[in-house]
């Protein structure tokens, strides 16, 4: 695998309205303070804990809903059914508050392996990482930051966004480094690596794989019920999962299909990205479906 391109010290992009900060060399949302990051990374975890992780716009909310249904932890809304402790915006409680939660506790993280909640290398927590092909991620992330961003709407245009994405200058940093940090740990006992495209194409078998990893028994009826509940059309309109119109934002979901990047990438951008993809993914053993 080739190294990531050199990352210059980023500054808030006043022209595009996009804000971020550096945290241990990674581009992160400004809401992740040193204190909130340390609290999340050092959080005492339990063998019954579940933490779902991803690079943004990789099927995170979809996986969250699946886990909430599998563990029967559904509360008033999807967001209140799990805890996201790594930023001041998403969690204002204390470690003591988290210690009082009933098992299994469900956590969310958008961090690379070495920065994730509970420090996976020494944590008994069970981590599920979901990855999506980077072209669809880049496209979906652009529309999210343009229309729904929680830390400054991006209005620099698609070409500017594409340039920032391939240079790792968007929030959560370089896609390749992020995904591969978890892929390289896929054989660890407490890590399950899931592909968005596999979940799309083979939902039942992938759901059973997730359930087996969590030691949860499911029959065909349960699988069908979960499949129907977490369908994209249902999640987009369901008040429990849609996250729609919250804090002035429009619908959280966009298309959810594989291959939507073709409607956005120019021929030149496709050529640039394909070359970078071949270089960065060489000899990793990881590949993605793009259609």
pLDDT of residue 3: 44
Q: Whose CA is closest to 7, among 20, 19, 24, 25? A: 25
Give catalytic status of residue 114 as yes or no. no
pTM, to two decimals: 0.90
Cβ density class 60-76: b for 16+ within 10 Å, e for less: bbbbbbbbbbbbebeee
Q: Domains in the chain and their CATH numbers?
A: 21-281 (3.40.50.300)
**What is the rounded CA–CA span in Å between residue 101 and residue 109?**
18
Give me Rg for the CA atoms of the chain.
18
Both tokens assigned to 115: 């920065």
What is the average pLDDT across 12-28?
79
| ∠ Cα 286 169 64 (to 5°) | 55
What is the average pLDDT across 263-271?
97
pLDDT of residue 159: 94
pLDDT tens digit string along 205-253?
999 999 999 999 999 999 999 999 998 877 777 655 554 444 443 444 4
pLDDT tens digit string along 88-120?
888 888 889 999 999 999 999 999 999 999 999
Q: Report helix, strand or coil for 257.
A: coil
Q: Whose CA is closest to 30, among 39, 21, 38, 18? A: 21
pLDDT of residue 11: 47
Considering only 61-75, 109-123, 176-190, 277-291, which range has the smallest mean pLDDT?
61-75
110, 114, 178, 215: the catalytic one is 110
């Amino acid at each position: 695998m080739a190294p990531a391109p050199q990352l210059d010290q980023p500054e808030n992009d006043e022209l595009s309205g996009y804000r971020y900060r550096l945290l241990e060399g990674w581009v992160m949302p400004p809401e992740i303070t040193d204190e909130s990051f340390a609290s999340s990374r050092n959080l005492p975890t339990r063998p019954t804990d579940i933490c779902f992780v991803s690079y943004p716009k990789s099927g995170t909310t979809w996986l969250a809903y699946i886990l909430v249904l599998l563990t029967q932890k559904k509360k008033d809304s999807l967001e209140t059914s799990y805890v996201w402790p790594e930023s001041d915006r998403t969690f204002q409680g204390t470690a003591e508050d988290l210690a009082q939660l009933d098992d299994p506790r469900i956590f969310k993280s958008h961090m690379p392996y070495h920065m994730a909640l509970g420090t996976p290398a020494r944590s008994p927590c069970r981590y599920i990482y979901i990855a999506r092909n980077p072209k669809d991620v880049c496209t979906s992330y652009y529309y999210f930051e343009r229309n729904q961003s929680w830390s400054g709407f991006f209005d620099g245009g698609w070409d500017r966004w594409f340039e920032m994405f391939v240079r790792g200058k968007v929030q959560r940093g370089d896609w390749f480094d992020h995904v591969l940090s978890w892929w390289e740990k896929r054989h660890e006992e407490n890590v399950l690596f899931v592909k968005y495209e596999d979940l799309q194409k083979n939902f039942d078998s992938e759901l059973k794989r997730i359930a087996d990893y969590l030691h949860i028994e499911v029959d065909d009826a349960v699988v069908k019920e979960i499949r129907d509940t977490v369908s994209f059309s249902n999640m987009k309109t369901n008040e429990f999962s849609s996250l729609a119109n919250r804090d002035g934002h429009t619908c959280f979901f966009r298309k959810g299909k594989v291959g939507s990047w073709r409607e956005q990438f120019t021929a030149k951008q496709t050529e640039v990205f394909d070359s970078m993809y071949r270089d960065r993914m060489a000899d990793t053993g990881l590949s993605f479906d793009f259609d």
